[in-house]
A and B are shown apart, each in its own frame.
Chain A
Amino acid sequence: MQEILFYIFSALTLLCGLLVVFNPFSRNPVTSAMFLVLTIISMSGLFVLLKAFFLAAVQILVYAGAVIVLFLFVIMLLDVKDEERRRYQKFGTFLGFAAVTGLAMLIINTIKQSGVSQALTGDGVAETKPLGKLLFTDYLLPFEIVSILLLVAMVGCILLSKREETAEAEAE
């Protein structure tokens, strides 16, 4: 059962990842972003199979939730029509292929050298419970400082984005 799920999620990750950058049916960036969401969701499925539940949840919350929303905002602020007309650039394609080949060789070499032969099953290090325990014992102080940091960020955002009495900026 697990193996079948693994193959399904891997295939989905790869397929959706390909559709993000190379989609024969649509050149709309919004579609690409949506496929990126699918890629991330299927990757979090892989994390679940490795028993890294916390990582899976964070993957969906942070990437599929926050980061993609940010992407969509940027895409919608830009001119989508202009992007659809643009052709693939030869130089860019070449660079992309070179980068992918290099990375693939690096990963294959690493796996060969480290000698991972048996299937990865996850050792429970990234599980939620030990992580929470660490956060609230050894790393309590940094954890609490981060909460102050979030408060600062929140107050700052409200402060910088609320309407001012005199709306327009004075040119200097």
Chain B
Amino acid sequence: MDLQLVSLEIGACLLGIVVLLVDLWTPAERKAQLGWLVASGLVGVFCYSFTIFDQGTGTGATGYVKDSLAVYFQGYFVLSAVLVVLLTQSYATRIRSGISELYAFTCFALAGMSFAAGANSLVLLFVAVELITITFYVLTSFERHRLRSLEAGIKYLILGAASSAIMVFGIALIYGSTGALDFHGVARAATGLNDDSMMLLYRLGVLMTLGGLFFKLAAVPFQLWVPDVYQGAPTPVTTFLSTGSKAAGIVLILRLLADACPPLLGEAWLRQLLALMAAATILYGSLCALRQRNLKRLLGYSSIASAGFVLLGLVTLSDQGAQAVLFYLTAYVFGVVGAFTVISVVSEESSDEDISTLANLHQRSPLMATVLTLSIISLAGVPPLAGFIGKFALLSAAISSVAVHPVMPWVIGAALVGVVISFYYYFTVIREIFWGKGRFWAEEAPSTEPLPCPRAAEVVLLTCLFGLIGLGLFPEPILFIAGEATEYLFSAN
């Protein structure tokens, strides 16, 4: 097989191994600085993989395809990995065991994600998902001295293992009923199935495989792990979990639906099921976030709600919907990374993640207050920021498919209700930044001392600021690339 095809993944793995080795010769106080090396290495690897990009090669026996959809998602994953590595560097003082391993694991998880982006067979799908999940088991329990981190690790391990088991069972059922492992082979065999019981097995297999992927996406009813794991995991890991791991699930669902189940796409139950899940996920996330005081849990629930919006785009089962999903994710990464970076810096100073620690942030650090406010506004979907364009694209894709999907008006209604509810909890955060009084039982007024921001975190914040405003004002280039990536995804069938 062509090694150049997987140069991005090989580069990411090599970078991880190199970091593990360089760690041995680096004095302890300089280890955190390795983050710059990793981040620049990742950017270099990504640029190299772009120069050799050749559309549509490498299908067939290897089960890996590097088409424009894969490249789009790989770019997305590298972007979020670079931001996460920089965020990790500013978080380094709180990691007691092995900061270099944290960088290396981020690289390995990135390799898994970009394999997932190009997965075109069930074997590669499973292996890539396992590489991501097992890396995250370790990452979530990285702060072993904190009980919450251990608790998060155990919860993620048990639920993740159960969902992997469901998924591998589903894969076995698909293979048993169609006798093929690569997506197109499955689709061809399934179209020719005329045995009812085999068709039932195939449907069940697809459903169970999707279930394992919905676990990554944190869609209802696979969302139970989110708040605890998001709260317990180290903040950079939480960020990567809600950007990278989630998007890996989305690209696999897109590929599975578009390539492996064309015979099912016309059936009403699949659409109804997806629609029901989308509505339930949006409402669950929005309602549970209402009374949350812990910032990381709050963003956890908001991430469930946004998984619902992604599902809204998937329900349409159309190229337009997929394009909107891709754009929404890109807008989402800047909002989430910006918000988590500020939370990470603020919670380090106060060793608390309560929402009241944000009080007076606009006096203490204007940059952080600005970025957090803009991130939150973008997540809420207020014009003219990136998040608004994302939600708008999703809703318009949903509205234009109303004619084909009879249940769609209900889902759109639920989404609108979710948006309105989300305004409330998002603006609680903003109110706390500018008008917060601190905890009502605290005797002292909240501090107004300037809050220093580490250099690496500043870079992340400025990137997010640039991304949020840039994507909001000039969304056309990214929308165009997303459109290229999803062209003929569903309409080819």
Where the two chains meet, the residues of A that have a C-beta atom closer than 8 Å to any C-beta of B are 137-142, 145-146, 148-149, 151-153, 155-156, 159-160, 162, 164-166, 169-172
Chain B residues contacting A165 (CB-CB under 8 Å) are: 96
The answer to whether B144 touches A148, judged by C-beta atoms less than 8 angstroms apart, is no
Given A149-B127, A164-B97 in contact, is the A138-B135 Cβ separation under 8 Å?
Answer: no
Cβ-defined partner of B144 (8 Å) among A151, A155, A164:
A164
Given A142-B127, A148-B108, A172-B146 in contact, is the A137-B135 Cβ separation under 8 Å?
Answer: no
Chain A residues contacting B137 (CB-CB under 8 Å) are: 156
Cβ-defined partner of B63 (8 Å) among A142, A153, A159:
A142
The answer to whether A160 touches B138, judged by C-beta atoms less than 8 angstroms apart, is yes
The answer to whether B108 touches A169, judged by C-beta atoms less than 8 angstroms apart, is no
Beyond the given A152-B105, A172-B148, please list 15 additional residue pairs across the A-B interface where CB-CB is below 8 A: A138-B61, A141-B115, A142-B124, A145-B115, A145-B127, A146-B127, A148-B13, A148-B108, A152-B108, A159-B98, A159-B101, A159-B142, A160-B144, A164-B96, A170-B146
The answer to whether B131 touches A152, judged by C-beta atoms less than 8 angstroms apart, is yes
Cβ-defined partner of A148 (8 Å) among B20, B62, B101, B131:
B131
Distance, CA A70 to CA B37, complexed state (A): 40
In residues 79-110 of chain B, which contact A (Cβ within 8 Å)? 96-98, 101, 104-105, 108
Chain A residues contacting B141 (CB-CB under 8 Å) are: 160
Chain A residues contacting B127 (CB-CB under 8 Å) are: 142, 145-146, 149
Cβ-defined partner of B1 (8 Å) among A140, A153, A164:
A140
Chain B residues contacting A152 (CB-CB under 8 Å) are: 105, 108, 131, 134-135, 138
Chain A residues contacting B130 (CB-CB under 8 Å) are: 149
5 A-B residue contacts at CB 8 Å? A149-B130, A159-B142, A164-B97, A165-B96, A169-B147
Chain A residues contacting B144 (CB-CB under 8 Å) are: 160, 164, 169
The answer to whether B6 touches A141, judged by C-beta atoms less than 8 angstroms apart, is yes
Distance, CA A140 to CA B147, complexed state (A): 40
Cβ-defined partner of A169 (8 Å) among B17, B105, B150:
B150
Cβ-defined partner of A159 (8 Å) among B138, B145, B147, B148:
B138
Chain A residue, CB-CB nearest to B125:
A142
Chain B residues contacting A149 (CB-CB under 8 Å) are: 127, 130-131, 134
Chain B residue, CB-CB nearest to A161:
B144
Cβ-defined partner of B145 (8 Å) among A145, A153, A169:
A169
Dominant SS among interface residues on chain B: helix
Chain B residues contacting A169 (CB-CB under 8 Å) are: 144-147, 150
The answer to whether B97 touches A159, judged by C-beta atoms less than 8 angstroms apart, is yes
Q: Is B301 an interface residue (CB 8 A)?
A: no
Chain B residues contacting A153 (CB-CB under 8 Å) are: 134
Chain B residue, CB-CB nearest to A139:
B123
Chain A residues contacting B72 (CB-CB under 8 Å) are: none
In residues 147-192 of chain B, which contact A (Cβ within 8 Å)? 147-148, 150
* Minimal beta-carbon separation of B447 from chain A (angstroms): 22
Distance, CA A152 to CA B138, complexed state (A): 9
Chain B residues contacting A140 (CB-CB under 8 Å) are: 1, 62
Chain A residue, CB-CB nearest to B135:
A152
Distance, CA A171 to CA B145, complexed state (A): 9
Chain B residues contacting A155 (CB-CB under 8 Å) are: 20, 101, 104-105, 138
Q: Is B315 an interface residue (CB 8 A)?
A: no
Q: Is B111 an interface residue (CB 8 A)?
A: yes
Cβ-defined partner of A141 (8 Å) among B64, B96, B148:
B64
* Minimal beta-carbon separation of B182 from chain A (angstroms): 10
* Minimal beta-carbon separation of B273 from chain A (angstroms): 29
Distance, CA A159 to CA B100, complexed state (A): 11
Chain A residues contacting B104 (CB-CB under 8 Å) are: 155
Chain A residues contacting B111 (CB-CB under 8 Å) are: 145, 148
The answer to whether A145 touches B62, judged by C-beta atoms less than 8 angstroms apart, is no
Distance, CA A156 to CA B134, complexed state (A): 9
Given A137-B61, A152-B138, A155-B20 in contact, is the A166-B131 Cβ separation under 8 Å?
Answer: no
* Minimal beta-carbon separation of A143 from chain B (angstroms): 9
Distance, CA A143 to CA B431, complexed state (A): 52
* Minimal beta-carbon separation of B317 from chain A (angstroms): 28
Q: Is B38 an interface residue (CB 8 A)?
A: no
Chain A residues contacting B307 (CB-CB under 8 Å) are: none
Chain A residues contacting B142 (CB-CB under 8 Å) are: 159
Q: Is B128 an interface residue (CB 8 A)?
A: yes
Cβ-defined partner of A166 (8 Å) among B112, B145, B147:
B145
Distance, CA A148 to CA B17, complexed state (A): 10
Distance, CA A169 to CA B150, complexed state (A): 10
Chain B residue, CB-CB nearest to A150:
B134
Distance, CA A144 to CA B63, complexed state (A): 13
Chain A residue, CB-CB nearest to B232:
A172
The answer to whether B131 touches A145, judged by C-beta atoms less than 8 angstroms apart, is yes
Given A169-B146, A169-B147, A170-B147 in contact, is the A142-B108 Cβ separation under 8 Å?
Answer: no
The answer to whether B97 touches A162, judged by C-beta atoms less than 8 angstroms apart, is yes
Chain A residues contacting B108 (CB-CB under 8 Å) are: 148, 151-152
Chain B residues contacting A148 (CB-CB under 8 Å) are: 13, 108, 111-112, 131
Chain B residue, CB-CB nearest to A138:
B61
Chain B residue, CB-CB nearest to A155:
B101
Distance, CA A171 to CA B147, complexed state (A): 6
Chain B residues contacting A139 (CB-CB under 8 Å) are: 63, 123
Distance, CA A36 to CA B53, complexed state (A): 53
Distance, CA A162 to CA B142, complexed state (A): 12
Chain B residues contacting A146 (CB-CB under 8 Å) are: 127
Which of B6, B17, B20, B97: most chain A Cβ within 10 A? B97
* Minimal beta-carbon separation of B145 from chain A (angstroms): 6
Chain B residues contacting A141 (CB-CB under 8 Å) are: 1, 6, 62-64, 115, 124
Chain A residues contacting B135 (CB-CB under 8 Å) are: 152, 156
Distance, CA A76 to CA B17, complexed state (A): 37
Chain A residues contacting B98 (CB-CB under 8 Å) are: 159
* Minimal beta-carbon separation of A38 from chain B (angstroms): 28
Distance, CA A164 to CA B141, complexed state (A): 14
Which of A141, A149, A155: most chain B Cβ within 10 A? A141
